């Protein structure tokens, strides 16, 4: 009976199911898969018939994945990942290269440890291609879950978001209130929190992993809301805007560490130790890293150690 059931599940079932789960929309999934909406609906119904359970259910005007769907998603994502890796391996074997490595990096590690890690990795001459993408943590974790990424480097996600994932701690960091050199609040003559609302404030987006830490910190210091608030995950915009205005950028320390060290930006005298959180490597629990990925993970560990040693030296 198991073989009969297995034979009824086709590649299109897995691909369609994973895309609908990722987009949380039949319409969007149909557009990305270049098929009609009825075709997507039919494929999902066929899969549900094979499984004997519903994998999606209606929620308002949209849909959400069911508990059974969450369970199946872990395995469907792993199956697609294995197939992609197999195809990639054959392609790379034909071209004489190594297997590709797909990394999701939060902005804080993209600027702080990723450059050093990649420099060390290239010295190993593995021949592997590397693809690095950045974005909000929720987006990167979803790509990791469905097999589009092999590893995510960044802050530890909330416990309910870590189902099916493992995390290796590299270091801890906190947020800072970054401003341009010469900012009025750097003089120390005016209390930062009393005058925070006088300036534009760049905040992490609501989907950002550090947003809850920032909100709790502001509330604890008597800030219930900010009249001139701009949400962004773009470090290039944040850096340019803060350097050319009196805006205050609340951001992970790693994103602006080099800017502060170079004197281009400064950190306001605010004790943000309450926002401290772990940064590390997140993988699927069902995945086995390839040799090149294992080497890259080791170079990330070494780069993190070097960054922490540099911070300690500066503190002394």
121: tokens are 């990795």
Residue 18 has pLDDT above 50, yes or no: yes
Q: How far apart are CA 61 and CA 52, in angstroms?
A: 25
Give the pLDDT score at 180: 94
- Tokens in use for 6? 């297995």
Architecture of domain 97-171+278-315: 3-Layer(aba) Sandwich (3.40)
User: For 220-233, how does the pLDDT look when each residue is reduced to its tens digit (9 = 90+)?
Assistant: 999 888 888 999 98
Average pLDDT, the chain: 86
Q: What's the rounded mean pLDDT across residues 86-94?
A: 64
Q: What are the pLDDT digits (tens) for 194-213? A: 889 899 999 998 888 889 99
Whether CATH 1.10.10.10 fits 11-82 = yes
Q: What is the pLDDT of residue 98?
A: 57
Using DSSP's 3-state secondary structure scheme, residue 312 falls into helix
Model confidence pLDDT, tens digit, residues 2-14: 444 467 788 889 8
The Cβ of residue 57 has, within 10 Å, a number of other Cβ atoms equal to 11
Task: Please give the pLDDT value at position 97.
Answer: 59
What kind of fold does domain 172-276 have according to CATH?
Answer: D-Maltodextrin-Binding Protein; domain 2 (3.40.190)
> Nearest to residue 130, comparing CAs of 108, 110, 112, 146?
110
Per-residue pLDDT reduced to its tens digit, 159-170: 888 888 999 999
Could you tell me where in the chain the CATH 3.40.190.290 domains are found? 172-276
Q: What is the mean pLDDT of residues 148-155?
A: 92
Q: Does the structure show a pLDDT above 60 at 45?
A: yes
Residue 172 is predicted with a pLDDT of 92
| 106-115 mean pLDDT | 87
Contact 150, 287 (CB under 8 A): yes
Residue 138 pLDDT level (bands cut at 50, 70, 90): confident
- List alpha helices for 124-173, DSSP H: 137-145
| Distance in Å from the first CA to the final CA of the chain | 68
**pLDDT tens by residue, 234-251:** 889 999 999 999 999 999
Angle (CA) 174-186-306 rounded to 5° is 35
Residues of the chain with CATH 1.10.10.10: 11-82
Question: Using 50, 70 and 90 to split pLDDT, how confident is the model at 1?
Answer: very low
């Amino acid at each position: 009976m198991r073989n009969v059931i297995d034979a009824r599940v086709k590649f299109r079932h897995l691909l369609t199911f994973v895309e609908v789960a990722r987009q949380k929309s039949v319409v969007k999934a149909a557009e990305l898969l270049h098929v009609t909406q009825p075709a997507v609906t039919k494929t999902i119904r066929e899969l549900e018939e094979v499984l004997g359970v519903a994998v999606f259910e209606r929620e308002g005007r949209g849909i959400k994945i069911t508990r059974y769907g969450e369970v199946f998603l872990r395995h469907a994502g792993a199956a697609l990942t294995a197939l992609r890796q197999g195809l990639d391996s054959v392609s790379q074997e034909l071209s004489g290269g190594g297997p590709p490595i797909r990394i999701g990096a939060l902005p804080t590690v993209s600027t702080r440890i990723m450059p050093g890690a990649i420099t060390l990795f290239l010295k190993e001459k593995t021949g592997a291609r590397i693809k690095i993408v950045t974005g909000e943590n929720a987006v990167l974790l979803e790509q990791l879950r469905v097999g589009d990424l092999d590893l995510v480097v960044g802050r530890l996600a909330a416990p309910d978001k870590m189902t099916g994932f493992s995390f290796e701690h590299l270091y801890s960091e906190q947020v800072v209130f970054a401003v341009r050199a010469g900012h009025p609040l750097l003089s120390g003559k005016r209390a930062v929190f009393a005058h925070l609302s006088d300036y534009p404030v760049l905040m992490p987006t609501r989907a950002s992993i550090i947003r809850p830490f920032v909100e709790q910190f502001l509330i604890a210091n008597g800030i219930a809301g900010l009249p001139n608030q701009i949400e962004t995950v773009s470090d290039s915009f944040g850096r340019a805007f803060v350097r050319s205005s009196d805006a205050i950028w609340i951001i992970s320390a790693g994103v602006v560490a080099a800017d502060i060290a170079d004197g281009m930006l400064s950190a306001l005298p605010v004790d943000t130790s309450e926002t401290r959180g772990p940064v590390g490597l997140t993988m699927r629990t069902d995945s086995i890293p390839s040799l090149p990925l294992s080497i890259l993970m080791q170079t990330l560990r070494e780069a993190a150690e070097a960054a922490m040693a540099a911070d300690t030296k500066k503190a002394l």
